[in-house]
Structure 1
């Protein structure tokens, strides 16, 4: 049974939402994630990009627009599985603006936040520069052109500190670490599920 999402701190809402998705994925081999709860969970991630400042402004705008597309799609398409199949049948998988293409972009945003949280938990000190740099390089940089990578690189010098970020999110260190850990493990399961949807249809995920 899914845990309720209460009007609570951002990180707690994120942790609950993705734990619910991860539970759905792990229920069986034939698990099918619904588009509506998936897009809602992703919408909770959007403020995190905004909280990182100018360095990730482009990533925030891109992520928000893609999540909004999936939310709109959820009104007529029940599951991620059927959403991709519709695009496959229409031969529009790689078309700019397709739901399948947008889902892949959202998946990369989720992965960036996953790596960011992982690095925040293991990196000493109050600076976010190293965790954010590693997260960007691993999840997003390979798919960005030179101009965007250069802008992000410059923006890494004016990131908030860990303390400032947690203050924006109304979190203390102990509670934040607990919620981050839940997201890291839960999002990993969800990301693996999404990757399987692409790989099982011979679509790949590196485009």
Structure 2
């Protein structure tokens, strides 16, 4: 009887151990699912990483226009989270992306868009696809610079991060009236904590997703710049 009790006791302990392990596995899977839950920021980072991976794996010197536009359209939510200060940038960016998305029905790649305007001598013409591509590229760069400033060791305020990014990327190409309006609107920017709340991120998760975007978007921006340079088009406009 003692021997039977011994084995029963061991069996019961083993069953408890198995149930505990299963419960922990279920919790881990639940946590994993929670971690995989997409946020606006993670969706943007993922979209640009997919383009960046394609550039690296296939040594691309050109990009498909429609997938590029679809990735860019996700960035609009970031401008909206910045409020009035970037309302003009949001409106301009969204309109330009929309134009290029419509153009993707006719053109397959970024180079085909630029080559079309080169042929028709409309590269820098107001409303041309090539000009709009240039403005979209600036929008991507603006967000990239803002994120870099936001994640700097100084942990600067969103106002400082955004102001510096705007001055570096967009201000040289905007009129005095636009620059003045943006400057005045900077006071309405949300705080760091409010931005993270709007994006459904924590400090840790935002750091991860912003760095993903910074790295991936740099590859995309470089492709666009090289496209212009290879065709003798300056980048200072």
* TM-score normalised by the chain length of structure 2: 0.82
Q: Equivalents in 1 of 2:60, 2:52: separation in Å?
A: 13
2:140 counterpart of 1:110: yes
- Correspondence for 2:110 among 52, 65, 80: 80
Correspondence for 1:25 among 55, 63, 69: 55
Q: What displacement does 1:27 show?
A: 2.9
Aligned residues: CA RMSD: 1.5
Q: Which residue number corresponds to residue 202 of structure 1?
A: 232
Q: Structure 1's 63 and 82: CA in aligned 2 closer, same or farther, altered over 3 A?
A: same
Deviation at 1:91, TM superposition (A): 1.4
In structure 1, stretches of 5+ residues that fail to align are 1-5
**Are 1:173 and 2:203 an aligned pair?**
yes
1:94 and 1:100 in contact (8 A); partners too: yes
List runs of 5+ in structure 2 lacking aligned partners.
1-35
Could you say what secondary structure the match of 1:122 adopts?
Answer: coil
Alpha-carbon separation, structure 1, partners of 2:57 and 2:125: 32
Tell me whether 176-185 or 25-34 shows the greater mean CA deviation: 25-34
CA-to-partner distance for each residue in 1:71-104, whole Å, 9 max, x for gaps? Answer: 1111121110111111111211111111100000
The 10-residue stretch of structure 1 (11-20 or 85-94) with the greater mean CA deviation from structure 2: 85-94
Conserved 8 A contact 1:24-1:33: no
CA-CA distance at 1:126 after TM superposition: 6.9
Q: C-alpha distance in 2, partners of 1:198/1:138?
A: 20
2:121 corresponds to 1:91 = yes
Q: In 1, Cα distance between the equivalents of 2:62 and 2:141? A: 20
Q: How does 1:1-207 map to 2 (within 5 A)?
A: 8-122=38-152, 124-125=154-155, 127-207=157-237
Answer whether contact 1:126 1:161 (CA < 8 A) is retained: no
For the pair shown, which has the larger CA radius of gyration, 1 or 2?
2
State the SS of the aligned residue for 1:170: coil
CA contact (8 A) 2:85 2:185 kept: yes
- Aligned partners of 1:24 and 1:32 also within 8 Å: no
Give the match's secondary structure for 1:185.
helix
Say which SS state the counterpart of residue 75 (structure 1) adopts: coil
Q: TM-score w.r.t. structure 1 length?
A: 0.93
- Displacement of 1:140 in angstroms is 0.4
